[in-house]
Amino acid sequence: MNGGTLAIRARILTFDGDPRLDPAATTYIEDGLVIVREGVVEALGEARDLVPALPHDCRVVDHRPHLLMPGFIDPHLHMPQTQVIASYGTELLEWLSRYTFPEESRYGDKSVSDAAARFVLSELLANGTTTAVFFCTSHPQSVDSLMTEAERRGLRILAGKVMMDRGAPPSLLDTPRRGYDESKALIERWHGRGRLSYAISPRFAPTSTEAQLEATGALAAEFPDMAIQTHLSENLAEIAYVRELFPWAQDYLAVYERYGLVREKALFGHCIHLTEREKASLAEAGASAIFCPTSNLFLGSGLFDRAGLLAAGIRTGIATDIGGGTSYSMLATAGEGYKALALRHQKLPALQAFHWMTAGNAAAIGLGKRIGRIAPGFEADFALLDSSATPAMRRRMERVETLGEELFLLMTMGDDRAVAATYANGRRVHARGGAAALPPV
């Protein structure tokens, strides 16, 4: 499956804009064709219009009746936490010290980080996720492992080594100088190489001294277009701790603001307990707030206020937050997001959820012109979904009459079983049940 032109026939869904604001921005083609050349979408349209004009050497794969959509984007997860998921009984700060930091301490070992990188990328592809933004550990090796594996598979990912110089076991700590130098060396090695990008990654305010935040701000200023990722206002005890550590700051966000870390493509995980000032400031800066519903429910952190953040004009994303989060599936994440929002008496219509997982997350991480849509010039990353994947789904499908109902079923009942195949960079990188279970490409 190298070179040449590939045409995929399927039901096709993509969003050219947010269906919350523009109902006409949703494109759904019942018998559609997408033509891919050299990893990029060349054309999208009705099969009856495009099939007659296909080049004679074009390979055609027929995936009807499955639903082809842009690959999912997961804008916040932790590569070294695949063996932290399902750790019992704690809230954030105890969960970090009891489970997470000891586990992350293992990642100085190349064999540990190589194995985790292989696993996490395979698992994401099995779930239809083609782009993700990863926190690695403080060990530069963990970034090398992940980037090497993502490059081998042709994936567009973002990742960074966490910078942390206090509040954790010594084996995980860097220093302001080392955090800066190691991050810079990784940027030089990986940023912009093929489909890989670096994300500057101060873990969160409690694990960085002011000297480290200062050095992080200097790095961010040297790379003004680079993504930054951290955590913000996830848990009430965390917020109280930040108030103790930074008595001069009027609120949590003010710590990051002081060091120039609040800007476009700055991704703030959680953002649950924000003040009005913090909301106004995030909106003004064009920063992104990332909703992590399974994590927020699992760690008892609180309930994200989607309606309030949207009303404030803040760009938002939705993510798994593995391993505080409990599922690799963006479908399951959206389904849990629906429930978490319901507890705040808010709604998450299915079309908006699918837009959020694709074009919405692409915009939130600053890649809205490259990924997240099926459109000419966009990178050919797709998820192929099977709405009748299980007996329970098939039975429920018998009563489904609209696309909205079908999508809501997928996000409520779906997971990796509903992902029939995944394409990245124009190549099939996952086939449910093995390559023989699908038509050849």
Contact residues: ligand GUN, CB under 6 A: 78, 92, 96, 100, 203-204, 231, 234, 295, 321, 324
Q: Provide CB contacts within 8 A for 397, sequence distance 6+.
A: 387, 388, 406, 409
Of the pair 80, 140, the CB lying nearest ligand GUN is at 80
Residue 312's binding partner among Zn ion, ligand GUN, none (Cβ under 5 to 8 angstroms by kind) is none
**What is the Cα–Cα distance from 299 to 314, expressed in whole angstroms?**
24
Q: What is the dihedral of CA 360, 364, 367, 372, to 10 degrees?
A: -20
Least separation in angstroms between residue 233's CB and ligand GUN is: 10
Which tokens sit at 131? Answer: 């782009």
Nearest approach, Cβ of residue 379 and ligand GUN (Å): 29
Q: How far is the CB of 380 from Zn ion (least distance, A)?
A: 29
Rounded distance between C-alpha atoms, residue 128 and residue 333, angstroms = 13
When the beta carbons of 158 and 424 are compared against ligand GUN, the nearer one is 158
- Binding residues (CB under 5 A) for Zn ion: these are 269, 321
Show the tokens assigned to 244.
């103790």
CB of 292 to Zn ion, least distance (A): 7
DSSP calls for 91-158: -HHHHIIIIIHHHHGGGGSHHHHHHHHHHHHHHHHHTTEEEEEEE--SSHHHHHHHHHHHHHHT--EE
Residue 100's binding partner, choosing from Zn ion, ligand GUN, none, with beta-carbon cut-off 5 to 8 A by kind?
ligand GUN
User: What is d(CA 325, CA 85) in angstroms, rounded to the nearest whole number?
Assistant: 7
Q: How far is CA 386 from the centre of its chain?
A: 21
The tokens describing 188, both together, are 């030089």
CB of 340 to ligand GUN, least distance (A): 14
CA distance 117 to 24: 39
Whole-number minimum distance, CB 220 to ligand GUN, in Å? 18
Indicate which of ligand GUN, Zn ion, none lies near residue 335 (CB less than 5 to 8 Å, by partner kind): none
Q: Which partner in Zn ion, ligand GUN, none is near 201 (CB below 5 to 8 A by kind)?
A: none
In which region does residue 341 sit, left (phi positive, over 0), alpha (psi from -120 to 50) or beta (all else)?
Answer: alpha
Nearer to ligand GUN, 203 or 306 (CB): 203
Contacts of residue 94, Cβ cutoff 8 Å, sequence gap at least 6: none
Beta bridge partners of 6: 36, 59
φ and ψ at residue 209, rounded to 5 degrees:
-75, 165
Contacted entry of Zn ion, ligand GUN, none for residue 104, CB cut-off 5 to 8 Å set by kind: none
CB of 373 to ligand GUN, least distance (A): 29
Torsion, CA 244, CA 248, CA 251, CA 255, rounded to 10: -100
Nearer Cβ to ligand GUN (100/105): 100
CB nearer Zn ion, residue 205 or residue 429? 205
Residue nearest to ligand GUN (CB): 324
295 binds, among Zn ion, ligand GUN, none (CB under 5 to 8 A by kind): ligand GUN
Of the two residues 326 and 361, which places its CB atom closer to ligand GUN in the complex?
326
Considering the complex, state which of residue 321 and residue 416 has its C-beta at the smaller distance from Zn ion.
321
Least spacing, CB of residue 74 vs ligand GUN, in Å: 14
Give the residue nearest to Zn ion (CB): 269
SS3 174: coil
Q: How far is the CB of 96 from ligand GUN (least distance, A)?
A: 6
Q: Which of 204, 378 has the CB closer to ligand GUN?
A: 204
Q: Which does 129 bind (CB under 5 to 8 A by kind): Zn ion, ligand GUN, none?
A: none
Which residue's CB is nearer to ligand GUN, number 97 or number 346? 97
At residue 29, what are phi and psi to the nearest 5 degrees?
Answer: -120, 115
